[in-house]
Every structure is written in structure tokens, then in C-alpha cells.
Structure 1
Amino acid sequence: MQTEFLHGENNAAPIDIPAIGLRLQVRIAPDATQALATLIETTDQPGFGPPQHRHEVETEVFHVVQGRYLFDVDGKQTIVSEGETIVAKQGTTHRFINIDDQPSRLLVLITPGWDATDFFSELRDVMANGLPDPRVLKAFGDKWRIDFVGPPLTQPAELAPDALSA
């Protein structure tokens, strides 16, 4: 078995999706793992996160590198902080929101791996003018076998950064 060292310069350029406050970089592309996994790093602006969705094929493992998030997985909500990890298994509905007062970062392991560069580049185009019409988002999701089933989370007042410091 051959070991492969992945150099930083092999990482894709950042992808920005302002509608969901996201900056993303692919750290390990699926071709480096024979499509067994993809690793991405996200930076999420305060108060932002993705729409509620479900992957038909992939499991996502979220590790918080910096900050705090409120995750909703299959209707159960939990706060996940720096150094903690949460799993959204294949078929579960999930979404999250950065509840910190500064940008927060995640490492996300996706298995099996898929082309995150193409997916998020296309999602950036779909969301160029903000959250799109649900029919447009559904058509995009169908192509990737991802069901978009609800809106992004909103930050509960009791978790707002100014409420937490009071």
C-alpha cells in the first residue's frame, strides 16, 4: 500500500457563499481516498448555517475547530463547541447555525467522498441572490441526491452572544 502526502497547494481555492455566510475549502478531495472520503474546512459567519437537508448517500462528521454551533439532527438540538464532534448519518435531516459572536470553523469528513468543489461551486451559483426558490433548490439537490427539506436554523434569543454574556 502506498502512502500519499497531501500538500497544501493541492487544496482547492476557497468557495464563498454569502447567502449562508460560508467560506469553504476542500482539504482532501475524493480522488486522494479512492472516493472513500472527502474532508472540507468551513468558516461560518455568526448567525449563519445551511438549510435543513438530508443526504441519500453520505454521512457527515462535523468537528468544531473554533467557536460554537447549534446543531439540529433529526429534530434534536444540541450545542457543539470547540473540540467536540457530531455525526449526521446518511438519511438524517440536519442543519446548524454558528451561535458564536465571531466566525466559527468546522472540519467536515464526508463519507463516501464526493466532489465538494463542484457541489459548493454550483450551490454558490444557485444562491447568488440569496436563498433561492424552493423549487430551484430542490432541482439542484436532486442532481446531488440531497433533499433540502427546510430553512436554515434561526438563532434562539437565549443563545444570542449578547444574552450569553449577560
Structure 2
Amino acid sequence: MTDNSLSTHMNDRCVAIPEIGLELRVCTPPSFVGKGLELIETINAPGYGPPLHRHSETEVFYVLQGRYLFEVDGERFEAKMGDTVVANGGVPHRFVNIDSCPSKQLVMIVPGFDAFAFFTQLGLAMKNGRLENDAKLAFSTQWGVDFLGPPLQASSTMTAASEADRCVSPGAR
């Protein structure tokens, strides 16, 4: 994630949003959009995660690699590889990658929506790594997301990788 521009690959439905430290791959086919669930794979750069938000969809996060600090409905807890976290629809939630390397999740969203369009449009709306108030209001209205607060901060909980745990590409583990 060294490039500061939004990049997409329509064939594999991937999007990178360097301003928010996110790489995303939509796993469900385009013909399935809006038909029950959406399955996405995310890679979050160290120290990155979404702001506190809520929406009507339920999200189920399965950690594939790394460690995250989650806050769901006011409760904070750590999730590591193999852990599952559920944020029911309407419940405020956020997370941050607290590992020193990129962390990876498989996320199921129920009911599904067009996650590729959502994240692509979010990336285009970002200015200097944040949504300005006008863009935030328009985005919230269009997608039914309430932004309630800032992202979690990872600085006090991040640890340096030991020599045995040095970063590897997310697909290599």
C-alpha cells in the first residue's frame, strides 16, 4: 500500500484504499449482490481500521491473520487468528489492526449489499485519509451508515514483531 491513489481491478473485484490502510477482495459474484449475504476478504495495514459506525447489516468477522482490537456495543476486546466477532445490525462497532504487520479478515455481511461499490465510493470520497463533513453526510445518506466517532487508536496496544513473527505477505501464512 505505497501508492496514494485508489486502484481497482474489475475482473477480480478488488479495491485498495491506501488512505485508510485497506485492501479488499469481494468473494461473492456480482450476480449475487443484494441476494442474502456478501463475503469479503480484507487486509488492514497496522494501526488502521474504520471509525465508530453502525448500519442495519450484521457483520461477522473471522480473523485469518494477525490481531485486532474490536469495540462492539461499547465492549473492547482483542481478536486474533481463528477468532470470530459478530456485530449485529444497528450496533456501534469499530476495530483496529494492533499487529505490527498487515492483518487479514474474512467478513460476512448480512443482508448483503454491493460492497465493491461501497468501498470504491468510500475511497473516492476520502480526502487526506478522512471524509469531510459534506462527503460524510452524502455517503451516510446513500449507504445507510451512521458515523459515530473516530477510529480506535492502536499505539498503546501494538507490539513490535519478533524475529520469528516478522511480516509475511497475507497469502503466505
Task: Tell me the TM-score normalized by structure 2.
Answer: 0.82
The question of 1:115 aligning with 2:114 is answered yes
Name the SS of the counterpart of 2:76 in structure 1: strand
Q: In structure 1, what is the Cα distance between the partners aligned to 2:27 and 2:72?
A: 24
The AA in structure 2 aligned to 1:161 is T
The AA in structure 2 aligned to 1:36 is G
TM-superposed CA distance for 1:31, in Å, is 3.3
The 1:19/1:38 distance shift into structure 2, 3 A limit, reads: same
CA contact (8 A) 1:12 1:117 kept: no
The question of 1:42 aligning with 2:42 is answered yes
Deviations 1:112-143 (A, max 9, x none): 01000110110000115310223421220111
Q: In structure 2, what is the Cα distance between the partners aligned to 1:30 and 1:110?
A: 15
| Residues matched between the structures, number | 154
Task: Give ranges in structure 2 of 5+ residues lacking alignment.
Answer: 1-9, 164-173
Q: What is residue 62 of structure 2 aligned with on the other side?
A: 63
Q: Name the Cα RMSD after superposition.
A: 2.2
**Aligned ranges for residues 33-112 of structure 1 at < 5 Å?**
35-55=35-55, 57-112=56-111
Deviations 1:62-102 (A, max 9, x none): 00000000001111101000001000000000110000010
The AA in structure 2 aligned to 1:117 is F
TM-superposed CA distance for 1:33, in Å, is 7.2
State the identity as a percent. 47
Q: In structure 1, what is the Cα distance between the partners aligned to 2:33 and 2:139?
A: 26
**1:161 is matched with which residue: 155, 159, 162?**
159
The question of 1:12 aligning with 2:12 is answered yes
Instruction: Point out 4+ residue stretches in structure 1 off by more than 4 angstroms.
Output: none
The AA in structure 2 aligned to 1:53 is H
Task: Give ranges in structure 1 of 5+ residues lacking alignment.
Answer: 1-9
Q: What is residue 5 of structure 1 aligned with on the other side?
A: none
Q: In structure 1, what is the Cα distance between the partners aligned to 2:11 and 2:94?
A: 25
Name the SS of the counterpart of 2:160 in structure 1: helix
Q: Return 34-43 or 130-139, whichever deviates more.
A: 130-139
Q: In structure 1, what is the Cα distance between the partners aligned to 2:125 and 2:79?
A: 29
